[in-house]
Amino acid sequence: MRSLLCLLVCAGLVRCVPAETPAQLATTPGAPAVIDTDTYSTDVFSAPIPEGWRVITGSALFPQSVTLVAPGDCMLIVIGLEASADAPSAPNCADQEARTWREVVTEDDTTVYLAGVAPAANGAEFEPLWTALTGGITIHDSSQG
């Protein structure tokens, strides 16, 4: 009797599984991104990731962007295909005087916008990371692929 009850429950559960993959699960919205040990890459651009920094990808519903965050969360760099009028902020370090950096990298018809923020006291530490990162941006040839 117990076996028959288990069989009926299993048969009932199988009927709950959709016959087709729901549309929202068939594809992931947004452009693909690959995060390697030291590089963030999309089909449009690649950027070096400073050692030990976290990578936070942007929403798939907006133009491609990524935020790189230093250990301690007080230094960060935002890279994206859309310029932001607002400087990035590090909410956990709002009590510290901050300095911002901005850079625009353009190649052919593609523009990548970069914005960074760090406590003013960490400017000497942040500056070489910023220079290496902005110099390491690669814009991919959109005519390929």
Q: What is the pLDDT of residues 13-55, one digit of tens each?
A: 666 666 676 666 666 666 788 888 899 999 999 999 999 999 9
Average pLDDT, the chain: 85
Confidence at residue 120, expressed as pLDDT on a 0 to 100 scale: 94
* Predicted local distance difference test score (pLDDT) of residue 27: 64
75 versus 88: the higher-pLDDT residue is 75
CB atoms within 10 A of CB 102: 14
Q: What is the pTM of this model?
A: 0.76
Read off the amino acid at residue 37: T
- Residue 13, helix vs strand vs coil: helix
pLDDT higher than 80, residue 142: no
Residue 143 has pLDDT above 60, yes or no: no
User: Which has the higher per-residue pLDDT, 89 or 40?
Assistant: 40
pLDDT, residue 136, reads 96
Residue 92's pLDDT band, with cuts at 50, 70 and 90, is confident
DSSP 12: H
Q: Tell me what the mean pLDDT of segment 96-123 comes to.
A: 94
How confident is residue 145, by pLDDT bands cut at 50, 70 and 90?
very low
Query: Residue range 82-100: average pLDDT?
Result: 87
Q: In a 10 Å sphere around its CB, with 0-12 CB exposed, 13-18 middle and 19+ buried, how is residue 8 labelled? A: exposed
Mean pLDDT of all residues in 124-128: 95
